[in-house]
Structures are given as structure tokens and as C-alpha cells.
Amino acid sequence: MTKWLFALLLLLLLGLQYRLWLGEGNLPSVWALQADIEALKAENAKLQARNSALEAEVADLKKGTSAIEERARSELGMVGRGETFFLLPEKK
């Protein structure tokens, strides 16, 4: 009787170990999914920071003209009224 019980328990243990390591939803696939989740969380954090910066820029553009003037100067090379533009050659 004890041999049958021992054999049954051993068979049950082997079945569970098979499922744990080789079956559907096994530990290696769970570990890989957790690594993917961490990578996606890091990417989401970067994108959230970028979105926050863009939201701040949009709010600044909506509420004042200083941000618009700054963009016009830096991106379009525009000069304001009453200002003089000087172009200095770079030293080589």
C-alpha cells in the first residue's frame, strides 16, 4: 500500500514539475514576460516625460507671446522690431 501511495505521489510531483518547467505558462515564459513588462514601463516613463514637456510647451505657447518669439528667433531666424542682426563668422 505504501509503495502505491509513494508511486502516486511521485507521479503527481513529476506531472506538476513538467507543467511548471515545460507546460503552458511555464516559469521561463513568465520571467520573459516580466522582463518585457519592465522594458515597457521604462519606455512609458520616457514617453510620459516627453508628453509632459510637450504639454508645458503648448500651455506656454497658448498663454504668452514670449515663447512664440523665442521659437521664431531660434527656428525661423527672425529678428524683432528695433533689433539689429549681427552675423559673426566662426573661427576655424
Q: Where is pLDDT greater, at 74 or 89?
A: 89
Question: Is 40 a domain residue?
Answer: yes
Question: Is 50 a domain residue?
Answer: yes
Supply the pLDDT for residue 37: 97
Q: How confident is the model at residue 71 (pLDDT cuts 50, 70, 90)?
A: confident
Task: Say whether pLDDT at 23 is over 80.
Answer: no
Question: Is 22 a domain residue?
Answer: no
Domain that holds residue 63: 27-76
Task: Say whether pLDDT at 75 is over 80.
Answer: yes
Question: Is 4 a domain residue?
Answer: no
Task: Say whether pLDDT at 44 is over 90.
Answer: yes
Highest mean pLDDT pick, 10-14, 38-42, 56-60, 61-65: 38-42
> Helix 2-21 and helix 27-63: axis angle, to 10°?
30
**DSSP annotation of 80:** -
Number of domains, the chain? 1
